[in-house]
Amino acid sequence: MKQNSSLFNYTKELVKSLESYSINYKYKSIYPLFQHLVLPFIFILKEYGNISQPFGKWFIYIMIFIMIIGVLINPILGNLIDPGMSINIAIFLAFFLVLFSLPSTYSHFNVQTDGINFIVNNLKVNIHDIKTAELIEKNLEKMFTKVQSRISLYRWLLGLSWTIYVFFINKSFQISLKSQEVNIDALVQEIINTSTSFLLFSLFIIFLIQSYKMASETLFKTIEFGIIEFKYQLLIKDNENK
């Protein structure tokens, strides 16, 4: 990085470069258009596997516990556990294992070593001291605060939409009850169908918000871990030169 260049602009370019690297994007010639129309979909879908991974583990654990109960434990107990109870026990035990996974399996924010190396190599070319790296960390902290505020806004809007929906459903139900020609069964069925559709749509929105949150966290944490690794290498180099 040139001496008179902006550290803020460099930080933005660092984030943008990791976005491109993380999704294997190389088409720089149409980047501005591609960035706004295509990359958001790839950015969100990239986290699908990480979100669905706990559910996959849960299913596998359920199958394992069902086999253990059916093959090993149940014969010892004289087949006292019926199949329904075996499934319930397996679901509970699997849920416990997924819910209380060891911190070492998830506390790294899905950060990959190659992403850290990419950041370190970028910093080696442009940054040459620890103090400048720490200033970049401060820039990243403020940028990530903006990302978090946007995610909070999405969640707030989703909660507001449910509040408005329940309000209108309640009002519609009250108005319909005053009508003598209303069919209560049909009205209730319509409310159930509408609520089910709205619930499924809300779950889809929650999935998108969570994917965006996880992808953003992985992106910024990769840069943070990369900066830490870069500072560590500088410290080793300084110690060797003493």
- The one-digit pLDDT tens for each residue of the chain (242 residues) are 666 579 999 999 999 889 888 876 554 545 566 666 777 787 887 766 677 777 778 888 888 988 888 888 878 777 777 778 888 888 898 888 888 888 887 788 789 899 999 999 999 999 989 999 999 999 999 999 999 999 999 999 999 999 999 999 888 888 777 776 767 778 788 888 999 999 999 999 998 898 899 889 999 999 999 999 999 999 998 888 77
Tokens matching residue 8: 């803020």
Which residues, at least 6 apart from 11, have a Cβ–Cβ distance to it below 8 Å? 136, 139, 140, 143
Dist CA 179 CA 133 (whole Å): 70
> Which of 242, 237, 240 is closest to 129 using CA atoms?
237
Q: 114: how many CB neighbours lie within 10 A of its CB?
A: 10
pTM of the model: 0.81
